[in-house]
Structure 1
């Protein structure tokens, strides 16, 4: 674990690990950055003599970050009950693996544990389940270390992870499944040409679209279910937003779409595909969650909301 008296600096490698842990725990890049900053603030608030006594600064920072994230998860449950519409994780852009050390999005490792489908499943877990599951199953931390974060015994933490593992969809799948890029490309073309029949054919009959506007951008407050209704909604969006530009982009490490209007990102959409058809669409429109996708950190709210008939 390292020699006693070791110090630590906020190196890109250390911070990268903490940001990756915190994002998977919180589903929010902004909250992950805040959690890591809080951990470093507590580290540097200690006397230098106390810091030199810590055998492994990295382990100490991970423990503190985990505890901060646990507190955030507990309080987030109450906040999300007041959230306008559905709450979705913040989508991550693909920065080509560059590590600049300034933008937390640059530090993210994009793999199957950050796909929108997996992050949505994590949202269904209790805070303690999520911490135990993510730290053990994703990052391979031993239950003895997780116990110090949760304030429980290693056996209790093992049980929490086991309970989380029983949640449907809790096993991470490859970020890009067979035919996903092709399916998303076909959706883009059908959407651009307003071909409702083609869209219906590309969507699974039981497909579900969930949008997140957070009260700051127009979005359906409830999930839109069924291929026909989703296709109608998408066409209505195109009709209400002339000049909408669709771009194929990696979203959380998987093929997705980004919508721009007047050069500004208004929507980031992630997809889940099975059997060549789209089964889930997650459309993030809350401008506060689209800051990593914009150069100036600000995105417009856009102009479309509820699907036809609502």
Structure 2
């Protein structure tokens, strides 16, 4: 009788890919923000610690939004107090929607922040209660003050590939919003497929258009949701066109409280499995990551969406 052995990917390098990719882990913030049941802050802190122990050096911790906007993240200060120092060389960004959010973050000693804009008017209104132009005006002092204080600043742009109310989003419209944000001085741009409708050709067109506008792939991160099963294919395409930073959420957690069609993020485990198989270094321990996802799924009372977690954890 034979015993079935656990399978791991054969390492076969693929031409055109980078030697190393930085994974920007969004599980504690984007992954948990839409959970209907409150997750205890102690569980969130343990989640972050486990992610760091698995080798993820960039972990987005939380969002300094008003609790009435996103109740799940109303414990931002308490979370940072529980975590304390996270060691040198590790980035722990937080999302800040406005100057008040920035003040709260800076009071806690945060040195990396992110602002969150929309490529479409409808989502800007639903998410920030402002037009695109008004939201960019709101972010200008946030970015300036953060940079003046020595913080690293990321700009998210959502609905870059499609919008549930407006439909397909013109590439030029996306580039225009991205350019305005990068002109403020942001260090990195994350382009988001919030409802997961993008496909590889669309990714190439947008990354190329951004490069033509002076925003090179070395400044760009990609943030794909897996609604239609395209997140990993889109990510691979972006990497083949110079992108080196990928947003992902452990277990494939995620969603958006203001767009019901936004489902889970690209699962970090699925990404690491693929990159390991192609010989691309991430610094992430896949076994530790799967263990973390399995533990977090127990806390949430449901299985992790990640296919790799289900395969390696046996269910």
| Same-fold call, TM cutoff 0.5 | no
Larger Rg: 1
User: In which range does the TM-score fall when normalised by the shorter chain?
Assistant: under 0.3
Higher helix fraction (1 or 2): 1
TM-score normalized with structure 2 length: 0.27
TM-score normalized with structure 1 length: 0.27
